[in-house]
Structure 1
Amino acid sequence: MTNDLSMTNYLIAPAIMTGLGFSFALILAVAYRYLKVAEDPRIEETEALLPGSNCGACGEPGCRAFAEKLVAGQTSPGHCTVASPEIVDAVAALLDVDAGGRERRIARLHCAGGKAQAYQIAEYRGFESCRAASVVSGGGKGCAWGCLGLADCKIACGLDAIAMNANGLPVVDPVKCTACGDCVDACPRDLFELVPESHHLFVQCSTPLAGDIALSLCTAACDACGRCAADAAPGLVRMEDNRPRVDYAAGGPARPEATFRCPTGAIQWVSGKQFQAQPRIPARRGG
């Protein structure tokens, strides 16, 4: 008798679980049938037209999310700064909207102090990482604000838009750069900035020091002489914390003349790949 009861219990439990499973499956099937929200087929079509790089330059986590925003009318095709004009026009035609858009942005580095300019005060032999070096000893460079040159930005760039030059500085390829911001996040000294491609006047120094103190750490450092601010269009360049700040919204137009009297090359007119500052010419300091 006892054995019969035990066998019955063994059979009842699976039967109950199976019944519950079928019940929940039925409820889910009915809910899916009557409560599902149909997806706009244009999302798939729009995503297929986009570059598929999922770079985040548009401000969305990927091309799928951007396509959803486009179909919902919450953004415009031109906000994909990676897409060619033909792709932008194709998306606009598909959705019957204005292409719109914004100016393409690229990453720029606020430092020109490579191996030939920045003085070394120690030899770093730790883990080959800018973030690790910044925590341990600053990588051995005397300037505590400059590029460490250990290529965290290059490694973080999934589009191969950054290369390290012979001077130990990262060089951004403006053709490949999508302004995704990975290099901004990777740099422990916040030296990268995403700027509009048309902003050619750029300060390549981040030290808050001035005069000979700044130059004792790096020959390409800004010595806070203020000549660039004096030579630029009114309001375009102003001195803050011993550094020139270029403000395109406050003044303009920007012209290369603002760089001509810089004694160290800390402010440059960058029109292609970012290049290092020219060697300091002491004779200019009197001008």
Structure 2
Amino acid sequence: MGGTGLVFGSILAVASKRLAVEIDPRVDAVLGVLPGSNCGACGYPGCEGAAEAMASGDGGTGLCVAGGQETANHVAHVLGLDAEAVGVRKVAVLNCNGGCTIAKAQYDYDGVSSCRAAHALHGGPLACERGCIGFGDCVASCPFDAMKMGDDRRPAIDEGKCTGCGVCVTACPHGREGLLSLVEETSPIVVACNSHDAPKMTRAICKSGCIACKACEKVCEHDAIEVRDNLAVVDYEKCTGCGKCVEKCAPKCIVLTSWGEKSVEVERETQPTAVRE
């Protein structure tokens, strides 16, 4: 019996050496400088997969979306490469200024407190079929604790913590339809509405929805906003962040981002006194 065990032990020892897979020590080094959130925004199932790709050269030093430029610099240092420019950081925004506390309900929902569960029942309890259902699936999914549910049952996004990984967009049943989107952090305004309903319908179900009046179009001096399919759309390449469309919007569904608020304040300060008055 002992001899048999010795033989099998020897076989296993030889097999372990011959079948051993060499591990690139740089993988662990790269993994050590990644955020470790396993968000998957890079296209790989987790940080280890991303680290392997970067160490092997299949992925560039800027592969980690969540880590941004700082992480790209660390990865480049570890691998002895030049850091790639990651580009402008992106953050998540909620394109809904109504939600379950403002938009009318089409039925009373008394089920599991999950947006996806509620959405499975006739698209959710809201009369607006593309609005925020308000159970916070996005908040629960955020690997960076960058979202909190507000008193109005809409997610509040901490732009300082948000990495633009996009996990919340995937978690939201309306995310791929535009309810949650990723925009460059320097984007000055956001259209906080996701409905393409006819204006009459929108007025009837949500006082904060876009009514396609085109007042924003008319006031914009840079042709940076236009109404398409009953919803205002911003061309960020042209938008200067003057804030005129925000002031003109009757339902107040065009809102300034924190960056936009700074932009408008700077513009006011640079205007002649007579103009400001």
Q: Distance in 2 between matches of 1:231 and 1:76?
A: 43
One-letter code of the match for 2:198? A
TM-score normalised by structure 1 residue count: 0.75
% same residue: 34
Spell out, residue by residue over 1:205-225, the C-alpha distance to the aligned partner (whole angstroms, 9 max, x if none). 111123332111100000001
Q: Distance in 1 between matches of 2:226 and 2:197?
A: 16
Partner of 1:140: 125
Aligned pair partner of 2:113 in 125, 128, 137: 128
> In terms of Rg, which structure is larger?
1
The runs of 5 or more residues in structure 1 that have no matched partner are: 1-10, 273-287
The runs of 5 or more residues in structure 2 that have no matched partner are: 260-277
Matched, 1:203 2:191: yes
CA displacement at 1:113 relative to structure 2 = 0.6
CA contact (8 A) 1:233 1:253 kept: no
Partner of 2:61: 77
Partner of 1:262: 249
Q: Distance in 2 between matches of 1:203 and 1:30?
A: 61
Aligned pair partner of 1:239 in 223, 227, 237: 227
Spell out, residue by residue over 1:85-114, the C-alpha distance to the aligned partner (whole angstroms, 9 max, x if none). 655433322322222213222221121113
- RMSD across aligned positions (CA): 3.2
Partner of 2:25: 41
Aligned pair partner of 2:93 in 89, 101, 108: 108
CA displacement at 1:61 relative to structure 2 = 2.5
Q: Distance in 2 between matches of 1:58 and 1:202?
A: 25
CA displacement at 1:189 relative to structure 2 = 2.2
Q: Distance in 2 between matches of 1:233 and 1:59?
A: 39
One-letter code of the match for 2:24? D
Q: Distance in 1 between matches of 2:126 and 2:252?
A: 19
CA 1:255–1:37 in 2, change beyond 3 Å: closer, same or farther? farther
CA contact (8 A) 2:164 2:182 kept: yes
Q: Distance in 1 between matches of 2:74 and 2:230?
A: 48
Paired residues for 1:1-287 under 5 Å: 25=12, 28-29=15-16, 31-32=18-19, 38-83=22-67, 87-100=71-84, 101-190=86-175, 191-232=179-220, 234-249=222-237, 251-271=238-258
CA displacement at 1:25 relative to structure 2 = 4.2
* 228-237 or 139-148, larger mean C-alpha shift: 228-237
CA contact (8 A) 2:94 2:192 kept: yes
TM-score normalised by structure 2 residue count: 0.77
Q: Give the 3-state SS of the residue equivalent to 1:89 in structure 2.
A: helix
